Chain A
Amino acid sequence: MLKLIFKMAFRDFIMRKARTILTILGVAIGIATVVSLVSISTGTKAQMEKSLAGLADFMVSPSSNAFGTGSKMDYTYYLYIRGFPEVEAAAPYLEGILAVNNKLSLIIGLDPSIDAIHSSPIKEGRSINWSAKEAVAGYAAAQSLNLKVNMILHISKGPGYKGEDFKLVSILERTGGFIDGEIYIPLQYMQRIMKAEGKINGVIIKLKSPNLANSFKQRIKKNLPDLEVFSPGTIMENIGEVLSLLDSVLLAISGVSLLVGVTSVLSTMITNVIEKTREIGVMKAIGASRRQILTIFLFQSVIVCLIGGILGVFFSIGVSPFLEQQISLASGISFQAVYSPELVLGAIALSCLLGVASGFIPSWKAANIQPVEALKYE
């Protein structure tokens, strides 16, 4: 019986090739969309976690300025905060999107105090001399701008502006974090280029102990109410919010594309059942039970969806290098989509489920066809 069901279902494929192929494509596109979206979302999360792993520090900057480039504060705040009893080390920074050899890139001005907080592994070159006009490039920044050690970087406020020349002394190892996409120069020159002498965006802080976080926050709140403390936790929360928003958008898109898949299977199955009304009537007349008819049709729709699903997974994996490239270009972070075995198996399970869901009503209709009516049906 099982084999017969297989054969009947397959025979129908061949007979209705074109329609079946279109349906399979419909399902494949739906599943591919879902798989791609999930792989991107997983990739983004993995990326964020990796980035934040290296960011075990607190940041203090003017309120409403979580990630930098906005409002500035006086350098003297840094000197003040550095003296707080909870603080082990502090480093001022000023960042901006500037032109590097006429291409826009994220530049951060730092000073030697950063060495007490972060040590970035050098891939090539030597460490920066903070008093010279030297620069360090993150892995991805070096790649996208095609930078080589010892190159001279002309950094200016924008293409066309008069800027200053820096010697690239090192390229950093790939970390997977934000620093990959950045170029560092000494803070004093950064301030000069940005025309922000005596200004910084914020201070990176290393506390003596993570337990002091609350007392540090209280102290900032009391003494410097204009400033806000961003802990890795709050950053995580912010990102979490963004990601959950992203997830609900992805969910909506997935829902729509799956709906398209379901609709195409549903309409194909309904057409199939209508076309076969007479045949179904004959089969029932010669002894097929309702369950057997139901199984034949359900099996057919599950097979169509399963093939579509497998194809969809391959589609998605096939286009992922392109998507990764586009996202990397757009975000400036070297992005990688994540295809976990769970995702692949889940997609295949989902496509089976899709087959059952969209095939059930037509199959149920088929199973309940009245033989007498069907035999009169032309």
Chain B
Amino acid sequence: MKLTEVKDILKAEITSGADKLEMVIQSGAGGDLMSDILRGSKEGVLVLSGLNNIQLIRTAVIAGASALVLVRGKKPDEEMKAQAHEHGLPLLTTPFTLFTACGRLFRAGLRGVDPKKNI
């Protein structure tokens, strides 16, 4: 799934990295705890979170995320945008909750990074 499709499905606004909308997303991970996000992610994952702080940007960079979606309409501050830009991490804001946002993406075919396939 392309990032531009993610943007449409989530009715999202892209606040940083609009030049990367053609990028292909392989999998998704969501969470509100940094270590859970790190545990459930792999290189190129799309991260969704209800958090909204500079640590989340660093966690996404460390996780090797392809892009980061802030749920429930959360807008990144200037420092978050600057850090995301520096590391080439697109930032999106969706009005949906974490649950609904993940559900919409799953319905459209995006899957998580569960160790066992098809569970």
Tell whether A and B belong to one assembly. Answer: no
